[in-house]
Amino acid sequence: MKKSTLYFLGLILALSIPLVLVGFNHLLRTIITPNNLFFELQIGNVPNIEKENWSLAITGAIENELVFDYENLTQMDSVTEIATLECVDGPFGTARWEGVPLFRILELAGVLTSAKDLIFYAADNYSDSLNLKEAYATNILLAFKMNGVDLPLAQGFPLRLVCPDHYGYKWVKWIVSIEVVDYDYIGFWESRGWSDNAMRTNFTSWITHAYLFSIAFIFGGLAFISGNKSIPNTKRYPKLPTFMKKRFHLVSSLFFIISAFASFIYWSYLTILTRGALFYSIHGILGLITIILLITAASLGFLKKTKAKEWHQKVSKVACYLFAISILIGFVISFIGTFRVNQIFMSI
Ligand SMILES: Nc1nc2c(c(=O)[nH]1)N[C@H]1C(S)=C(S)[C@@H](COP(=O)(O)O)O[C@H]1N2
Ligand SMILES: [Mo]
C-alpha cells in the first residue's frame, strides 16, 4: 500500500474517535451500572428517611384509601426487571429493579372512573404525575430494590418509581404519598417547560443525535484538511494523498454541512419535544452558532474575490473549532454525566 494511503486511513481512524466513543456509550446502556457508579440527580438535598418512620399513603379519587408501611409493602408479590433510567439531559444508567407493579396497588385502591392523573409526592418536595392510562403499564414499578440490595439513599430509598418508557424526571424518588386526581397535574419539571408526556423511545434518544454529530466530525475533519491542502502553493499535509484537493474539499464540506445540519435539526426536534423550547445549553447554542458560521463560510467559498476566499478560511476555521468544542461538551454531558458526579455538570 502507498504511504499516502496509509496516512489517509490513519486520518480517517483518528477522525472516527468520537464515533467509536458514541458506540461505546451506546453499548453502556445495555450493561448494568453498579450502584456505586450510578448517576445521581435531584433538585435539592437527599432526604434522610428511616424505614421505621416511613409510610406510603394512597389517597384521592379511589374507593379504598390505603396506607403501607415498609414491611407491608415489601412483603407484597414483587417483580424484577432490567430497565434504563435516562435523564432528558443525557445521563443514563441501567439496573435490575425490584418492586411492586403499580397497577396492583391501583387495583387494590379501586380507582374511580373520574380519575385522570396519579401524583407522586416525594420527601424532598419534588412531585410528578403519570397519566392514569399510562400508569397501568405492567412494567411500571414501585421499586424498593436495585441490583439486589435495598434502594440506595441517593437512588430514592425507601421507594422510587421505575417507569422504563418515560424519561428520568418521572422516576420519582423518596415517594411518601400517591394521590389520584381528576385533573391534569403539572409536575416539578413540567411546570418549568418540560413535556408532561415524557415518553422515551429508542427514536427519541440523544444517542441518534450523537451519532449524526460524530459522522459530521469525520467529514468536518476531512473538509478542514483538504481545504488547507488546496490553498494555492501550500505545502501543508504533504504526506496525505494528492486527491485531497479542491473537489475532495467540496464534496467533504457538503457532507459535513448536511450531517451537521441533520444533527442540529434532530437536536432541535428532541429539545422542543422534551423541553418545549430551544435554547438552554452551551452545547446547543454553540451548535447553532456553528451551523450559521458553516453556512456563511460555505457561501463565501463560492465567491471568486480573494477577500472572500480569505474570509472563507477564517470563518471555516472558527466554525470547526466551535464544532469541536460543542462535541466535547456533548461528551462531558453524556459520559461524565452518566456516572456519579456533581450536579454542576448537569447544567452545561
Ligand atoms: N424526589 C425526587 N425524585 C427525582 C428527582 C428529584 O429531584 N427528586 N429528579 C428526577 C430526575 S430529573 C432524574 S433524571 C432522576 C435521577 O435519578 P437518579 O438520581 O437515581 O439517577 O430522578 C428523578 N426523580
Ligand atoms: Mo432528569
Q: Are residues 220 and 79 in the same domain?
A: no
pLDDT > 70 in the chain, percent: 95
Question: Is 88 part of any domain?
Answer: yes
Residue 182 phi/psi, 5-degree rounding, is -105, 25
Instruction: State the chain's mean pLDDT as an integer.
Output: 90
CATH number of domain containing 90: 3.90.420.10
Cα of 173 from ligand 1 centre, angstroms: 6
% of the chain residues with pLDDT over 90: 67
Q: Taking 60 as the threshold, does the pLDDT of residue 341 lie above it?
A: no
| Together in a domain, 16 and 50 | no
38-97: per-residue pLDDT in tens?
A: 989 899 899 989 999 999 999 999 999 999 999 999 999 999 999 999 988 778 899 999
**Taking residues 272-280, what's their average pLDDT?**
72
Segment 285-296, tens digit of pLDDT = 888 899 999 999
Model confidence at 31: pLDDT above 80 = yes
Q: Please check whether residue 196 lies inside any domain of the structure.
A: no
Does 269 fall in a domain? yes
Q: What is the mean pLDDT of residues 262-284?
A: 79
The residue out of 157, 191, 225 marking a domain boundary is 191
Q: Are residues 41 and 87 in the same domain?
A: yes
The grid coordinates listed for 231 are 490553498
d(CA 258, CA 223): 13
Domain of residue 336: give its range: 3-27+203-344
How high is the pLDDT of residue 280? 64
**For the residues 9-20, what does the mean pLDDT come to?**
96
Is the per-residue pLDDT at 348 higher than 60? Answer: no
The larger pLDDT score, comparing residue 273 to residue 138, is at 138
Q: Are residues 14 and 39 in the same domain?
A: no
Q: What is the mean pLDDT of residues 193-203?
A: 80
Query: Of the residues 191, 216, 234, which one is the last residue of a structural domain?
Result: 191
Which atom of ligand 1 is nearest to 123's Cα?
A: 1
- Grid coordinates representing 184? 391534569
Residues 266, 178, single domain; the answer is no
Q: Determine contact, residues 138/100, Cβ cutoff 8 Å.
A: no
pTM above 0.85, yes or no: no
Domain count across the chain: 2
Domain final residue, candidates 166, 191, 216: 191
Q: Which atom of ligand 1 is nearest to the CA of 41?
A: 19
Mean pLDDT to the nearest integer, 238-252 = 93
Residues with CB under 6 A from ligand 1: 38-43, 85, 87, 122, 124, 126, 155, 168-169, 171-174
Nearest-atom index, ligand 1, CA of 88: 14
pLDDT in tens, 165-191: 999 999 999 999 999 999 999 999 999
- C-alpha distances (whole Å) from 314 to each of 191, 217, 300 are 43, 19, 10
- Sheet containing 55-60: order of strands: 66-69, 55-60, 175-181, 117-122, 127-131
